Structure 1
């Protein structure tokens, strides 16, 4: 029987790698984790967590404005970028320390170096040390894609650098139309930055329900975000302390910063994958089976490096499933078909399950229930915003296939709606649930009128009212 230095060697200490390492160690495995940057990965260090902290900051301006309608006088409110960034950095340092401590308490050895594959059971560290392992797990995540081959590309920033700007940009041009582009557009606009989003298409949030894609534009415009649709950036030039951005139609935009948010690329370069013969898919991600195993039996991969469902909770579940299966004798795999997700714009988007278009493309006959209303808070604040909710229901068995929300607290609501869809809840289950009034969420259990398709939005009610 072959003897190895460790039972499991994990390359990458992000959410998926850390969870896999801790669970495996809990089963008695000897585990090492190599991380060349900071423990915690993209989500904790320069992704979901710092972004959400900045999202909160961006919402206060709207809260101050709304307060007047409720009798409050708010004077002298002033935002300081340096304070936000400093406090954000303190929290990220605290979380990183917690990740370190949890790994060490679990008996996992942290190796603060880059690691590359040398063969199916050996990794080579940056200092030349070789470590053999019975199993190797790659959890290196992904990085921002700088795929624009244009003059001045180096003058643009990505979601990595924006967290560390010394000064708040007075203006910014953002190219992209996904989660990252829209979340930063929204939060920066809330902080007072003049924001312009450039997108080559005519709709945002590819893959989301068409109703959401249409309505989010109106909401973001109402919060001060400008859009240039059907446009791409052709060149970026430094000019007068800022940037001159040439668009494909010859027009120039001027801004303090340019952010490129056009996707992310799996971190597979320089890992020695080709040397060992690990297969990559068309996206350059590690190709794995349902159990996260690559074509090399001893090598597995989880998280964004596999380009399956690039969300932190998914990476965590993949890491947990891997450890339970390989080291705990409790095999299971992650179901990627039903994943709640949110876009932390202002207002939020929360979705789970099939879009209307996806359901129809599968040949399903569906009933559509949807509503749009002015939230109660806006009746006194005077803010021009609306809440939108939509359920996609299978006519065959009355099962709710998808839920799509736009409005305050959509992320919180959709998490529990995800529980309902996971257990196969039907529209009848929603209908017989007692409404909690007054709340926005009650509309999900009081929807009665069917709509034939997405090209007919529901009649807009004046405000949120109890269903009669």
Structure 2
């Protein structure tokens, strides 16, 4: 059978773009790619890149305070959000064009529209036309989800943050994962009054207990009103609420529409970039408050609904993810999937590795499986968390371990009597001496974990680290100077 393309990719994010480029440029395949939104996907347009730029912006007030404490005449003025947002939009436009040019340079045909599956070898585009392909790659990514509760449409999700026309004076962030905590720190640094509700006993579930405990303490010390064991039970428009005075944010956002129709059905979600405010909320602890805005950071889901996968017999998991094997192949032989849509490890570099490995396997003659073990990652809170490998809690379930840990006030901020602390922690297998995990809470932890991640991935032992001469004076020297375990298990 003759096909229009060797490969058709659905999704223009990092994983899909890498797969398309490698298949076309190195595999000499005829490739097409469809993207219904903007080229670059979540990471470039709605995630990693704009978020990290907001992190940079939010850190400057603290740096100005430090400078003044060190003797400089320094003060921070008001933050100009519209100016920052305009510059951000220009940068994202530039990056999007870079992605597009790289695809075109590789010879990939681009369709700027939604694509769904008609059969195992046919893709149907939004304009009604169909294209056939020997292989189809699903790289549609994921999306933030709102909780199932009345008036949830009044709240924003992470996609909406970057399009706000003005900053709210106050915001409630619901959630305790890395997205919730990162935006809590970012908005707090930009001068927003931040309250955070999380229903669990501690933020950052799944990360090392000591590390997430320290981050929670530091967030509170910075002025974030963090409530654990607390969730939202009701929310409604607060127009005319006696405790609330109108703000510039209200005018920019507009007042919310009715929360339900005549039949009692929930109103549709607010348009992206147009969150509603002010909003009255009631929490499980009984408190009632009004905020300019509410941000739901309560989870993400794979972008599989409506693609036609189930009709073709593609196996989906409980969360809607495409179930794939080690080579990213689904239960239908001609259909593959990479990135967040598979819900394996939802990180951009992992999606890129998966896309590249897929292209190598199918078009490069090199059967390649992605190694999902010991993937370093970072949480861009303030301070940051860098992590690789097992947490202490995970390691003690399967290994006999030694735990090396230290926490202290770093020289830079101790000198000006600031309360910030850092933490360095190594999880070591007692018998083999191999480092099973490393967890760092410190400024620049994301940079540090990349370096130590190389050693951990190579199988470094505690003695390998001990033989390394420390760089002094640095906070990272603690990684090679901890001699005595604080506990064993």
TM-score (norm 1): 0.95
Q: 1:400 aligns with which of 429, 435, 438?
A: 435
Please name the residue that 1:14 is paired with: 13
Cα drift, residue 341 of structure 1: 0.6
CA distance in 1, matches of 2:438, 2:28: 42
Q: Classify the secondary structure of the residue corresponding to 1:381.
A: coil
Please name the residue that 1:457 is paired with: none
Please name the residue that 2:68 is paired with: 68
CA distance in 1, matches of 2:433, 2:340: 34
Q: Classify the secondary structure of the residue corresponding to 1:202.
A: coil
What are the residue-to-residue correspondences of 1:64-463 with 2, within 5 Å?
A: 64-75=64-75, 77-146=77-146, 148-240=147-239, 241=250, 242-362=278-398, 364-452=399-487
Please name the residue that 2:264 is paired with: none
Contact 1:153 1:235 in 2 (8 A): no
Q: Classify the secondary structure of the residue corresponding to 1:164.
A: coil
Contact 1:68 1:381 in 2 (8 A): no
Contact 2:404 2:482 in 1 (8 A): yes
CA distance in 2, matches of 1:257, 1:77: 23
Q: Which moved more, 1:314-323 or 1:66-75?
A: 66-75
Contact 2:18 2:355 in 1 (8 A): yes
Evaluate the alpha carbon distance shift between residue 76 and residue 305 of structure 1 in structure 2; reply closer, same or farther with a 3 A threshold.
closer
| Number of equivalences | 451
Q: Classify the secondary structure of the residue corresponding to 2:162.
A: helix
CA distance in 2, matches of 1:249, 1:434: 51
CA distance in 2, matches of 1:63, 1:420: 32
1:253-307 Cα shifts (integer Å, max 9, x gaps): 2210000000101000010112211000111100000110000011000000000
Cα drift, residue 171 of structure 1: 0.5
Cα drift, residue 453 of structure 1: 5.5
Cα drift, residue 175 of structure 1: 0.5
CA distance in 1, matches of 2:463, 2:84: 46
Q: Which moved more, 1:433-442 or 1:299-308?
A: 433-442
Q: Classify the secondary structure of the residue corresponding to 1:269.
A: coil
TM-score (norm 2): 0.91
CA distance in 2, matches of 1:120, 1:190: 49
CA distance in 2, matches of 1:165, 1:106: 36
CA distance in 1, matches of 2:344, 2:326: 10
Cα drift, residue 174 of structure 1: 0.4
CA distance in 2, matches of 1:25, 1:400: 40
Cα drift, residue 151 of structure 1: 2.0
Cα drift, residue 76 of structure 1: 5.4
Contact 2:61 2:76 in 1 (8 A): no
1:226-257 Cα shifts (integer Å, max 9, x gaps): 11211111121111451111112332122100
CA distance in 1, matches of 2:91, 2:214: 34
Contact 2:171 2:293 in 1 (8 A): yes
Cα drift, residue 216 of structure 1: 1.0
CA distance in 2, matches of 1:150, 1:294: 34
CA distance in 1, matches of 2:76, 2:158: 31
CA distance in 2, matches of 1:125, 1:352: 41
CA distance in 1, matches of 2:22, 2:43: 20
CA distance in 2, matches of 1:20, 1:416: 27
Cα drift, residue 396 of structure 1: 1.2
Contact 2:168 2:192 in 1 (8 A): yes
Please name the residue that 1:459 is paired with: none
CA distance in 1, matches of 2:65, 2:82: 23
1:316-347 Cα shifts (integer Å, max 9, x gaps): 00000000011001111111121101010111
CA distance in 1, matches of 2:358, 2:397: 33
1:426-456 Cα shifts (integer Å, max 9, x gaps): 10110001111111111101111211169xx
Evaluate the alpha carbon distance shift between residue 76 and residue 342 of structure 1 in structure 2; reply closer, same or farther with a 3 A threshold.
closer
Contact 2:235 2:282 in 1 (8 A): yes
Q: Classify the secondary structure of the residue corresponding to 1:450.
A: coil
- The answer for unaligned runs of 5 or more in structure 2 is 240-249, 251-277
Contact 2:466 2:480 in 1 (8 A): yes
Cα drift, residue 68 of structure 1: 1.4
1:17-71 Cα shifts (integer Å, max 9, x gaps): 0000000002100000000000000000010000000000000010000111221
